[in-house]
Amino acid sequence: MNPDQGPPRSGRHDSQAADARLARLQSYHQGSGHWLAWLLGGVFVCFVVWAMSFQIDEVTRASGEVIASSRVQVIQSVDGGVLSALYVKEGDQVKAGQVLARQDPTRVAANMGETEARLFALRARAARLKAEVTAAPMPVFPEAPNATAAEQVRVEQALFIQRRSGLQEDLRTLQVGLDLARKEMRLVEQLATNGDASGSELMRVQRAANEAESRLLGRKNKFLEDARQDLAKAEDEVAQLSQVMARRTQEHEDTVFKASGPGIVKNIRVTTVGGVLRAGDELMQIVPVGDDLIIEAKVRPADIASVRPGLPATIRLDPFDYTVHGSVAGRVVYVSADSMKKDTGRGEEIHYRVHVRPEGFPVISSSGKRLEILPGMTAQADIRTGQRSLMAYLLKPIRKTLSESMGER
């Protein structure tokens, strides 16, 4: 073959075919890249639109415990004393008015008995004085509760008879003197009319008659006035001592500890008969039953701004597995006006008290199960404070980071 004739025709054809295939392959890949970019862009736009329109709940989460709406009844010793009897133990269910324990009433009963005796004596004296003032034939005494009081009635009755007899005797004597003075005055008046007695003599007997009458009236008035003054004093003392007696009676009643309502006994502080209770010491607590139960949740100060009464909440009770029993719908009914401080092992804890009440009683969970809740159970409350878009939720960390970084030096 002549070298000047160039390469063979078949070689040029193969080279052109390879170039054509390479061009088609490059064109295919370029088309695929544009299609994928459009696809990803479309997906991103759809996601942004969906994220901006899809709303999620804003939730404030708080932990708490179940409490009775009427609060736990604290049984305390008012005046202190010695525990003489204890009729219940922890966990017992009690009824309203049931006696739980007693203090030794000896000292209080002695004070009460002394005051009662003094008060009865004053009332008997007041009854006697009232009869003297009103000129009653006999006093109307209060019913004597014991032999000592009955003896006091007999003493006052005898004194009434004695004083009445003394008054009547004095009045009879004075009346005799008055009658004589008047008789003498009438005789002197007749003599003076006939001219047998002087005017000075007539004036003397008239003065004597007036003085006798004055002594008679004075004795009556003095008796009544003294009786009135003594009656007023006695009634005043009765009123004062009645208040003392009311306090003594209350002190005696306070030696008996009773349940104000149905409940369950817990936290018995003194379990030994003969133990000493100081004034104000707590003996036990009664957790009410039968009342509506609420969840007292602790909300952080940072989250309290958006929490207000009326907001819906979801309650998860720790003793009931959420995945099995579901949650309980509730609603915020109370938000404390000020924060509360509590010392813990990790330092001082500051929180707001928020009460969440289940929507109905008995409590039915979202799975349709009836839950028997008791005071003291722990719970978690998710309070729905509002809604925002998913996009706002996703962008919040970015906005927060930018806001904080813009403020750094």
In a domain, residue 97? The reply is: yes
CATH at residue 92: 2.40.50.100
Mind listing the pLDDT tens digit for each residue in 78-132?
A: 888 999 999 999 989 999 999 999 999 998 999 999 999 999 999 999 999 999 8
Contact predicate 234/129, CB 8 Å: yes
In a domain, residue 32? The reply is: no
Alpha-carbon gap, residue 133 to 164, rounded angstroms: 11
Is 325's pLDDT higher than 70? yes
Mind listing the pLDDT tens digit for each residue in 172-225?
A: 887 888 778 788 777 777 777 777 667 777 788 778 888 888 888 888 888 888
Calculate Rg over the CA atoms of the chain: 51
Contact predicate 77/270, CB 8 Å: no
Domain boundary among 285, 302, 327: 285
C-alpha distances out from residue 115 to 263, 291, 335, Å: 36, 41, 49
Same domain, 62 and 175: no
Same domain, 195 and 269: no
C-alpha distances out from residue 166 to 117, 219, 227, 229, 362, Å: 29, 11, 14, 19, 80
Rounded average pLDDT over 366-380 = 85
In a domain, residue 247? The reply is: yes
Contact predicate 259/94, CB 8 Å: yes
CATH at residue 393: 2.40.30.170
Domain boundary among 202, 230, 253: 253
* Phi, psi of 98, deg, nearest 5: -70, 135
In a domain, residue 111? The reply is: yes
Residue whose token pair is 């739980």: 100
In a domain, residue 23? The reply is: no
Q: What is the pLDDT of residue 1?
A: 44
153 CB-near residues (< 8 Å, 6+ apart): 124, 141, 144
Same domain, 142 and 226: yes
Is 238's pLDDT higher than 50? yes
Same domain, 145 and 214: yes
2 CB-near residues (< 8 Å, 6+ apart): none
In a domain, residue 2? The reply is: no
Is 388's pLDDT higher than 80? no
Overall domain count for the chain: 3
Same domain, 78 and 98: yes
Same domain, 95 and 190: no
Q: What is the pLDDT of residue 4?
A: 47
Same domain, 125 and 234: yes
Same domain, 226 and 335: no
Same domain, 153 and 210: yes
Q: What is the pLDDT of residue 175?
A: 81
Adjacent-strand bridge partners of 107: none
Classify each residue of 315-350 as buried b or exposed e, where b means 16 or more C-beta atoms within 10 Å of its C-beta: bbbeebeeeebbbbebbbeeeeeeeeeeeeeeeeee
Mean pLDDT of the chain, nearest integer: 82
Higher pLDDT, 35 or 357: 357
In a domain, residue 142? The reply is: yes
Alpha-carbon gap, residue 227 to 163, rounded angstroms: 11
Is 373's pLDDT higher than 90? no
pTM of the entire predicted model? 0.56
Same domain, 216 and 309: no
pLDDT band at 52 (very low <50, low <70, confident <90, very high): low
Is 360's pLDDT higher than 70? yes
- Residue 292 DSSP one-character state: P
Q: What is the pLDDT of residue 341?
A: 84
In a domain, residue 27? The reply is: no
Percent of the chain with pLDDT over 90: 30
Same domain, 236 and 159: yes
Mind listing the pLDDT tens digit for each residue in 244-261?
A: 999 999 999 999 999 988
Give the domain extent around 382: 58-69+291-406
Same domain, 362 and 307: yes
